[in-house]
Structure 1
Amino acid sequence: MAFQQGLSGLSSSSKALDVISNNVANASTVGFKNSGTVFADAYASSLTGAVSKIQIGIGSAVQAVRQAFTQGNVTTTSNPLDMAINGNGFFEIELQNGGYALTRNGQFDINKQGYIITALGDRLMGYQTVDPVSGDVAAPATSSVDSFRPLIVPASGIGAVQTTEMSLNLNLSADAETIDGAAMPLDPSDPLTYTYSTGIKIFDTLGKEHTLSFYFARRTDVVDTTTAPPSYSEWDVYTVVDNDPGTLTHNSTLGFDGLGRVAEVTPHATAAVTPPTNGSVFSALLGTDAVNPSEATLAMNSITQFGGESKPRELVQNGAAPGEIAGLAISRNGVIQARYTNGVSKDIGIVNLTTVRNNNGLSPIGNNYWVETPESGGFARGTPGNGMNGVISAGQVEESNVDLTQELVQMIIQQRNYQANAQSIRTQDQILQTLVNLR
């Protein structure tokens, strides 16, 4: 019986050493998870019925090899596509030979087709919509089965965006002198005919860049003291496209109240005009294209009239020239954003995180991949930061959670156990040899 116990101990110690050696060997592997050996005692059949006090143990056996899915340390890398999961969940991978696998290894690259792939060429899964005609991709408003697919970074850039909205945030000096428009009509080439000027870049339907210049001329000071608050100052606003005097347009007249706020906007554009709905917004045809003029909405509610200098605070428009992808960024919620050379940013996809009810039920298949089994439960897919899912750290990877010091200590202990069991077998061999010699 002692001989059987020794053999069982040798087998168990050998299995434990194999597990420890595997942990040590993979201690530097990204996303690797530590494994531990679970032992169980082994007993021979009862000699006389079920009387437990005379049962004789025959050593121990390996009941299971259990992995510890605890968080590993996070290390910064130079690859913007590298990702580490802080918290629960796995990246889901579409295998080249079919099926899906899970991994915590977030080292990703882009292949020649534009797919985000692992070092083995397997594709990262996520949520993305693809235009069937143009091939343009975008992040869906909500994650769904219909948008679940391998993530791809488009090779084509982004098209031109026509300017349809503009906003002027600036101050017109309340200390400025008034200018008689009848005596000195506005002339862009003569600074004495206007009080202040500024400009903004806009884009037509073809993405061609134009300069839209604004000229402000203060016409009156106190307008109506009977109102509450009183109305102070009127300013004429003129626009010129691409510094062409032929495009000079009396765009509107601004009226300010006694608090320096825009009280009224009166459109004067000669082209088709939509009357203002809230006293600060109007639409006018701005002739950026001789054949198809662009219609743009111009917001003036952020213009103020305070003392001091006339100066711009922020001039904003929503148009852009065509652009190519200049870089990628990934948010903590897994949103992949493409940055283009024209300054536009666009969300092109969302990384998926998958969870299972029983992590230890997953079956490892190598390469830091796990696959679903009946014991693990089915895949539950979602987005980072949603529910129990962790969040993404971009430009970082999760290191192995192996504690080398602890593993080396365990290796010494298991080696000592192995030697003890080997000594037990040796002793049994000597006893048997002595008995044979007696005969």
Structure 2
Amino acid sequence: MSFLTSLSGLKAAQSDLSVVSNNIANSNSTGFKKSRAQFGDLFAASPTQTTKMIAGQGVQLQGITQQFTQGTLESTDRTLDLAVAGEGFFTVKSPSSTAAITYTRNGSFSVNNTREVVDATGNIIQMLPVNADGEITSSNSADLTSLVLPETDPNDPNAVLANISVGTNGVITATYSNGNQQALGSLAMASFVAVEGLRPVGDAHWQATGTSGLAALSQAGTGPLGTVRSGSLETANIDITEELVSLIAAQRNFQANAQAIETANNMTQTIVNLQV
């Protein structure tokens, strides 16, 4: 029994090591959110047995939870490098036929050859419509539009796009060579009732699940969504010192369980030799 108990400890320590290693490996990944392994004890007894005379059965992995704490914002001076100071997520859409919607904290955006503003994986950033005052007119997901930079002023074909800016409320404003300005839309910021229930799909992107609930879309600066910082990127919320301490603790736990298995094996061998 002690062998199986220690074996469960080895498996748990291995899972803990894997989680910590993944955190450390992604310490330089933009928008990455660290994870933590959670464990629970195993205990089994029949209704007629007294629990005072029964030892536990070991440990089991209850789950790996993501920690959506704020990462550090680093300045880049690029207009399309965006960071969220708050709890919101950028909404992006896949360019493939599935048009899948995902959510990200990685705000490293650029312009592709069709003038769409995309992230590092080619997903197109999504906007909500705004009025003349820069206030959103709809928060319905059916009204999402892709951010495509115009070439010229819609009211003056001779005036080309000179500049774009992104406000702290997520409103994207185009400035043309004739001095005119046009609000293209507002970044669609998403929040979730249970953010830990989001399903990670890689590259600091997540999908909504039944556990997380549907995304609530709104404008930056609303409630806990936070504000948008143009010219900045959010680094991974990793404290290397903390992760190294966790790594050492997991390693010691693994070694202790391995030693317990070796001890149990030696005791069993001694008993066998006595019987012989």
Given the two structures, how large is their TM-score scaled by the length of structure 1?
A: 0.59
Match of 2:218, as an amino acid?
G
> What is the aligned partner in structure 2 of residue 124 from structure 1?
125
Q: In the TM superposition, what whole-angstrom CA distance separates every residue of 1:228-256 from its partner, at most 9, and x where no partner exists?
A: xxxxxxxxxxxxxxxxxxxxxxxxxxxxx
Distance change >3 Å, CA 341–CA 3, structure 1 → 2: same
CA distance in 2, matches of 1:144, 1:100: 15
Secondary structure at the residue paired with 2:91?
Answer: strand
Distance change >3 Å, CA 50–CA 370, structure 1 → 2: farther
CA distance in 2, matches of 1:433, 1:35: 41
Match of 2:110, as an amino acid?
D
Deviation at 1:9, TM superposition (A): 0.6
Deviation at 1:47, TM superposition (A): 5.3
Report if the CA contact (8 A) 2:129-2:136 is conserved.
no
Deviation at 1:139, TM superposition (A): 6.7
Identity %: 35
Deviation at 1:78, TM superposition (A): 3.3
Deviation at 1:143, TM superposition (A): 3.0
Distance change >3 Å, CA 378–CA 144, structure 1 → 2: closer
Report if the CA contact (8 A) 2:128-2:136 is conserved.
no
Q: In the TM superposition, what whole-angstrom CA distance separates every residue of 1:293-327 from its partner, at most 9, and x where no partner exists?
A: xxxxxxxxxxxxxxxxxxxxxxxxxxxx9421112
Match of 1:400, as an amino acid?
A
Q: In the TM superposition, what whole-angstrom CA distance separates every residue of 1:350-401 from its partner, at most 9, and x where no partner exists?
A: 1010011001111111121111111111110111012332110001111111
Structure 1 residues without counterparts, runs of 5 or longer: 130-137, 161-320
Q: Radius of gyration: which is bigger?
A: 1
CA distance in 1, matches of 2:148, 2:48: 67
Secondary structure at the residue paired with 1:388?
Answer: helix
> What is the aligned partner in structure 1 of residue 167 from structure 2?
331
CA distance in 1, matches of 2:49, 2:187: 58
For residues 251-270 of structure 1, the aligned pairs below 5 Å read none
Bigger Cα displacement from structure 2, 8-17 vs 385-394 = 385-394
> What is the aligned partner in structure 1 of residue 137 from structure 2?
142
CA distance in 2, matches of 1:50, 1:109: 65
Deviation at 1:142, TM superposition (A): 1.8
> What is the aligned partner in structure 2 of residue 399 from structure 1?
235
Report if the CA contact (8 A) 1:72-1:401 is conserved.
yes
> What is the aligned partner in structure 2 of residue 177 from structure 1?
none
> What is the aligned partner in structure 2 of residue 349 from structure 1?
185
Deviation at 1:159, TM superposition (A): 3.7
For residues 5-154 of structure 1, the aligned pairs below 5 Å read 5-43=5-43, 45-46=44-45, 49-95=48-94, 96=96, 97-128=98-129, 142-145=137-140, 147-154=143-150
Q: In the TM superposition, what whole-angstrom CA distance separates every residue of 1:248-284 from its partner, at most 9, and x where no partner exists?
A: xxxxxxxxxxxxxxxxxxxxxxxxxxxxxxxxxxxxx
Q: In the TM superposition, what whole-angstrom CA distance separates every residue of 1:323-357 from its partner, at most 9, and x where no partner exists?
A: 21112110000011112222222211210100110
CA distance in 1, matches of 2:65, 2:117: 31
RMSD: 2.0
CA distance in 1, matches of 2:256, 2:83: 43
Report if the CA contact (8 A) 1:46-1:54 is conserved.
no
Distance change >3 Å, CA 343–CA 48, structure 1 → 2: closer
CA distance in 2, matches of 1:113, 1:139: 25
CA distance in 1, matches of 2:136, 2:261: 68
Aligned residues: 270
Deviation at 1:155, TM superposition (A): 2.5
1:155 aligns with 2:154: no
Higher relative contact order (CA 8 A, sep 6+): 2
Distance change >3 Å, CA 101–CA 141, structure 1 → 2: closer
Distance change >3 Å, CA 353–CA 54, structure 1 → 2: same
Match of 2:271, as an amino acid?
L
> What is the aligned partner in structure 2 of residue 434 from structure 1?
270
Q: In the TM superposition, what whole-angstrom CA distance separates every residue of 1:85-126 from its partner, at most 9, and x where no partner exists?
A: 011211111123432111111111111122111111111111
CA distance in 2, matches of 1:159, 1:142: 22
Distance change >3 Å, CA 402–CA 141, structure 1 → 2: closer
Distance change >3 Å, CA 16–CA 342, structure 1 → 2: same
CA distance in 1, matches of 2:49, 2:175: 74
Deviation at 1:24, TM superposition (A): 0.2
Match of 1:127, as an amino acid?
L
Distance change >3 Å, CA 48–CA 98, structure 1 → 2: same
Match of 1:143, as an amino acid?
S
Q: In the TM superposition, what whole-angstrom CA distance separates every residue of 1:139-171 from its partner, at most 9, and x where no partner exists?
A: 7762343642112111234544xxxxxxxxxxx
Greater per-residue strand proportion: 1
